[in-house]
Amino acid sequence: MIDLNSYGIGMRFDEETMELTGFKGKRDVRKLEDMRGMFMEPDEGIKDLYYMFRGVDSFDSIRYDVTALLPGMVGEEYIKTKGHYHPDAYPEVYEVMKGKAFYLLQRSDDFESVDDVILVEAEERDIVVIPPHYGHVTVNRGDGVLIMSNLVSSRFSSVYEPYERKKGAAYYITVDGVVRNGNYGSLPHVRRAKPREARDLGVVRNRPLYTSIKNERDAFGYLEESEEYDFSGVFEFE
């Protein structure tokens, strides 16, 4: 059992059953067969890739979700989420609760051409803001389960089609490093980054997301209306 109490949610994650204890909703499973076109080399060996617990709690129209990614590989690639863009300019914010993650972000205005790619390396307790107009994939780069939470508006549906059409994100994260996805046209180089504290966006070092939104709901208004906010300081680039 992985105790998540230190993240403020008073729940535990059972690694045997991959269930979040006390979760009232329906667990969604993303299986390899749901993501067959998204990897460089589909592998027959692995069945389940990750588990989504959507709506663990909600704060008006801001949803608090938990996601658990299994460790392991699909071919040469680390297990990852399917990847999507958000419509309009909705941002999102993630927190690593257990394990090690990469957040691979790619900016696009038209869901076709990509003009910025950022690979964010995150450790336990790191909080990563996904700025407006960045599509994102999460990669489990550790050797154990990766558990993360996120806060996101429930007013939109994610856009998966561009990632499906291009067979994944702009780059693949493999054992041999970062590999360009040939289904994209010209691409910028990957900018590597680490997350930074961003108090004006509710991101406070060593304070769990759930604690922050419970105490300061207004600090997350940017998840609904992002225009007035400055996202330029959320990463420290290498």
Binding residues (CB under 5 A) for Fe ion: these are 92
Q: Kindly tell me which of 103 and 184 has the beta carbon lying closer to Fe ion.
A: 103
Look-up of token digits 């460790």: 71
- How far is residue 205's CA from residue 237's CA, in Å, rounded to a whole number? 18
Choice between 77 and 92, CB closer to Fe ion: 92
Using the minimum distance from each CB to Fe ion, give the nearer residue, 92 or 95. Answer: 92
Secondary structure in 3-state letters for 82-133: CCEECCCCCCEEEEEEECCEEEEEEECCCCCCCCEEEEEEECCCCEEEECCC
Q: Strand 116-122 and strand 101-107: pairing? A: antiparallel
Closest contact distance (angstroms) between CB of 198 and Fe ion is: 18
Phi and psi, residue 102, nearest 5°: -110, 135
The pair of structure tokens assigned to 14 is: 């059972």
Residue nearest to Fe ion (CB): 92
CA 193 to chain centre: 15
Smallest gap from Cβ 153 to Fe ion, in A, equals 10
Instruction: Report the residue number, 131 or 208, with the smaller CB distance to Fe ion.
Output: 131
